[in-house]
Amino acid sequence: MIATSIDGSNSTLDLLSTLLADPTVYADKLKALTEATAENKKYVDLVGPASEILATRAKADADRASAAQAVVDAKAQADSIVGGAQADAAAILADAQGQADTLIAQAKAQKNESDAVLAQSKASLADVKRAEAEARAATAAANAQAQSLATAQIATEALQAEVADIKAALLAKTQAFIEGL
């Protein structure tokens, strides 16, 4: 360090002698120096956070760019997933429609078959009712014939009894005639 100034005076030495000669001046100068150091330390401390702010800004810019790229990537992936899901949904829908069409065709065929069976059943029922009516009529006719036969049998039995009586009377007369001869 240079102890003398350009003009030849020795300011450092003068300062030291002044400070040592008067302790209050020394204390005031020390206090002023401490305050100036504290004030300068504030600026030095601010330079640290300012550089941190710049670093934080740079990191925030990098993060923002990274986030923007992540959004672009996520959008592309979402578009791909949505496209795939739409294709899958269309395939499932087409398959379901095909199955529904097949089921509808089968149901129509079964309905037509059921309608045919129902018509045949109705015709068979009509035939059964007609046959039942004919059977009742035949039963009534058979009962009437049976009644008629029963009446005829009674008449025949009465006639047979009468014929037997006539025969017995004729035999008795023939016997009497033969005996009278």
Per-residue pLDDT tens digits for 30-55 = 788 888 888 877 766 666 666 677 77
CB atoms within 10 A of CB 12: 13
Q: Residue 112 has what DSSP assignment?
A: H
Average pLDDT, the chain: 83
- Are 25 and 18 in contact by the 8 Å Cβ rule? The answer is yes
Helices and strands per DSSP (H, E), number in the chain: 2, 0
Q: What does the pLDDT average to over 126-154?
A: 89
pLDDT for res 34: 85
Name the band, by pLDDT with cuts 50, 70 and 90, for residue 101.
very high
Q: Map tokens 């670093």 to a residue.
A: 55
Structure tokens at 59: 């990191």
Enumerate the domain spans of the chain. 11-180
CB atoms within 10 A of CB 154: 10
Name the band, by pLDDT with cuts 50, 70 and 90, for residue 96.
very high
pLDDT for res 114: 92
pLDDT above 60 for 13:
yes
pLDDT above 90 for 104:
yes
Distance CA 86, CA 81 (A): 8
Q: Map tokens 């209050």 to a residue.
A: 24
- Are 8 and 1 in contact by the 8 Å Cβ rule? The answer is no
pLDDT for res 46: 66
Q: Phi/psi of residue 2, each to 5°?
A: -85, 125
pLDDT above 90 for 71:
no
pLDDT above 90 for 152:
no
